[in-house]
Amino acid sequence: MSLAVVILAAGKGTRMKSALPKVLHAVAGKPMVQHVVDAAASLDPANIIIVYGHGGEQVKATVTGEQLAWAEQAEQLGTGHAVAQAMPHVKEDMVLVLYGDVPLIRPDTLKEFVASVDDNTLALMTLTLNNPNGYGRIVRDGQNNVQRIVEQKDASEAELGIQEINTGILACSRRFLEESLPKLSSNNAQGEYYLTDLIAMASQSGLNVETLQPNEGWEVDGVNDRVQLARLERIFQQAQAETLMRDGVTLRDPARLDIRGSVQIASDVIIDVNVILDGDVTIEEGVIIGPNCVLRDANIGAGTVIEANTLIDGAIVGENCQLGPYARLRPGTELADNAKVGNFVETKKSYIGEGSKVNHLTYIGDSQIGKGVNVGAGTITCNYDGANKFQTVMKDGAFIGSNSSLVAPVTIGENATVGAGSTITKDVDDNGLAVARGQQRNVANWQRPKKG
Which residue, 99 or 236, has its beta carbon nearer to ligand UD1? 99
Please, which of residues 349-388 interact with ligand UD1 by CB under 6 A? none
Among 194, 218, 351, 363, binds ligand UD1 (CB under 6 A): 194
Per-position x/- string for 150-189, each x denoting binding to ligand UD1 as judged by CB under 6 A, each - no binding: -x-------------xxxx---------------------
300-305-306-308 Cα dihedral, nearest 10 degrees: 160
CA 127/CA 163 separation, integer angstroms = 8
Facing residues of 333 across strands?
Answer: 315
Helix, strand, or coil (residue 176): helix
Which residues are registered as beta bridge partners of 296? 278, 313
Taking the C-alpha atoms of residue 297 and residue 335, their distance in angstroms, rounded to an integer, is 15
Rounded Cα distance between 167 and 151, Å, is: 12
Q: Which stretch binds ligand UD1 (CB under 6 A): 94-102, 105-113, 228-236, 372-380?
A: 94-102
| Strand 26-27 to 30-31 pairing | antiparallel
**The one segment of 56-64, 192-200, 228-236, 317-325 that binds ligand UD1 by CB under 6 A:** 192-200
- 9-38 mask for ligand UD1 (x: CB under 6 A)? xxx---------------------------
Site for ligand UD1 contains 81 (CB under 6 A)? yes
Instruction: List the one residue from 82, 265, 412, 418 that touches ligand UD1 (CB under 6 A).
Output: 82
Nearer to ligand UD1, 103 or 401 (CB): 103
List phi, psi (to 5°) of 38.
-65, -40
| Nearest approach, Cβ of residue 11 and ligand UD1 (Å) | 2
Residue type, 37: V
CA geometry: angle 78, 83, 86, nearest 5 deg: 135
**How far from 367 is each of 177, 396, 433, CA to CA, in Å?**
62, 13, 20
Binding residue for ligand UD1, selected from 5, 31, 48, 79, defined by CB under 6 A: 79
Q: Which parts of 198-227 interact with ligand UD1 (CB under 6 A)?
A: 222
Catalytically annotated residues: 360
Query: Helix and strand tally (H, E) in the chain?
Result: 8, 35
Q: Please give the residue ranges that form the binding site for ligand UD1 (CB under 6 A).
A: 8-11, 51, 73, 76-79, 81-82, 99-101, 135-136, 149, 151, 165-168, 194-196, 222
